């Protein structure tokens, strides 16, 4: 893990009270946003970063009243709205995965894993010793995605053996399902293992066919390697074709892991330009239990960042929108929660009847 002299564990936010800066004319994928070297003084674990529009302030002054960030708010949740909850980078036979599994014990709904499920090499022994006693308690309601650590054992065989048909077909492991009004797509970003991720690859072609066949009011996709990241791995262009296909179909949300922290971006187009009306909102949730990372350079449109605690993302999926909450394992009140309306086919896909 790389350490940066200006990084601190805790919540990293973009907020006007913390920093006044001139607008930056920076192409979304051309480079990072610079970060000041000195943290804001005070007791709250907050570091000032370059400003971005519509940011959520999670400083001590605002923590007691979490903000909602959305151009149009989703309707209040009802009792039967489905819940999707999960994280990536999970079981390392330590207190982290035990703590996040305890969160799952009290959160109902469908559990998703965002890859790197059992450390360090995804062996059968690691699944049995590290994953099964923790997140394995919820295996019957889990829909997984694989990560690069799962493939450190040949062809991710223990991953497929452990999850069985819930992981999709071996040598493929991308699949979809419906959850209430939502269409959910699980993808495999270990591109070399599945014949590539580029436009025209088997997975990209499958994704476009699947999205065309399921013109839902709301669509969410998840995989391991984030398209955009303020971590040491940075932006990942290999999965840009996923984003393009999802954007073309009017998708709303993308989830990823790989970076061991929590980060939320504003809605973006496939190149990383802010698109509040039609963009996809990405959540990186690599906080399932493996050791946490610190942040690298901050990418455009990154709105909330935390390397403070393990935790899971809880999404309540309404018929026309969604509500999100990062649930921290340290028991502290959530500093990131909000709601947004779905695009409902804003790019041409008809809304579900």
Q: Cβ distance 120 to 162 under 8 Å?
A: no
- pLDDT of 40 reads 23
CB 112 within 8 A of CB 143: yes
- What is the full DSSP assignment across 204-239? HHHHHHHHHH---SEEEEE-SS-SS-SSTT---GGG
Give the predicted TM-score (pTM) of the model.
0.79
Report the run of H or E that residue 328 belongs to, with start and end: strand 321-328
d(CA 323, CA 215): 21
Domains of the chain: 83-341 (3.60.21.10)
* pLDDT tens per residue, range 42-83: 222 323 233 333 333 333 323 333 333 333 344 455 668 999
**How many Cβ atoms sit within 10 Å of the Cβ of residue 213?**
9
Label residue 38 by pLDDT band (50, 70, 90).
very low
Least confident span in 14-23, 111-120, 189-198: 14-23
In this structure, the number of other CB atoms found within 10 A of the CB of residue 303 comes to: 21
Instruction: Map tokens 């991710």 to a residue.
Output: 156
**Residue pLDDT, tens place only, 160-215:** 999 999 999 887 889 999 999 999 999 999 999 999 999 999 999 999 999 999 99
Helix (H, G, I), strand (E, B) or coil at 11: strand
Task: Tell me: pLDDT of 334 over 50.
Answer: yes
Does 217 score more than 60 pLDDT? yes
Q: What is the DSSP letter of 333?
A: P
Question: Do 325 and 334 contact (CB within 8 A), yes or no?
Answer: yes
Q: What is the pLDDT of residue 315?
A: 98
Distances (CA, A) of 287 to 30, 156, 178, 240, 328: 28, 22, 25, 23, 9
């Amino acid at each position: 893990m790389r350490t940066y002299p200006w990084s601190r564990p805790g919540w990293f936010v973009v907020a006007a009270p913390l920093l006044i800066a001139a607008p930056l004319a920076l192409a979304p994928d051309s480079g990072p946003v610079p970060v000041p070297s000195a943290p804001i003084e005070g007791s709250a674990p907050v570091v000032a970063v370059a400003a971005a529009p519509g940011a959520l302030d999670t400083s001590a002054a605002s923590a007691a009243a979490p903000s909602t960030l959305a151009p149009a708010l989703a309707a209040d949740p009802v009792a039967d709205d489905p819940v999707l909850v999960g994280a990536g980078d999970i079981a390392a036979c330590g207190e982290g995965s035990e703590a996040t599994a305890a969160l799952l014990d009290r959160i109902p709904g469908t559990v998703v894993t965002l890859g790197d499920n059992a450390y360090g090499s995804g062996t059968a022994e690691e699944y049995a010793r590290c994953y099964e006693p923790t997140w394995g308690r919820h295996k019957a309601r889990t829909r997984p995605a694989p990560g690069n650590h799962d493939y450190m054992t040949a062809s991710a065989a223990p991953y497929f053996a452990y999850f069985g048909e819930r992981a999709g077909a071996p040598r493929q492991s991308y699949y979809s399902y419906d959850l209430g009004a939502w269409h959910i797509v699980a993808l495999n970003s270990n591109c070399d293992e599945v014949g590539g991720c580029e436009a025209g690859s088997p997975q990209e072609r499958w994704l476009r066919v699947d999205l065309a066949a399921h013109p839902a009011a709301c669509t969410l996709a998840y995989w391991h390697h984030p398209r955009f990241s303020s971590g040491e791995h940075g932006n990942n262009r290999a999965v840009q074709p996923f984003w393009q296909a999802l954007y073309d179909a009017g998708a709303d949300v993308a989830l990823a892991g790989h970076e061991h922290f929590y980060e939320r971006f504003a809605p973006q187009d496939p190149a990383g330009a802010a698109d509040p009306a039609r963009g996809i909102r990405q959540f990186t949730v690599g906080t399932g239990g493996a050791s946490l990372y610190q942040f690298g350079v901050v990418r455009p449109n990154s709105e909330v960042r935390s390397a403070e605690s393990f935790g899971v993302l809880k999404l309540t999926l309404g018929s026309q929108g969604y509500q999100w909450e990062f649930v921290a394992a340290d028991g502290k009140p959530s500093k990131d929660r909000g709601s947004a309306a779905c695009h409902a086919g804003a790019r041409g896909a008809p809304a579900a009847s």
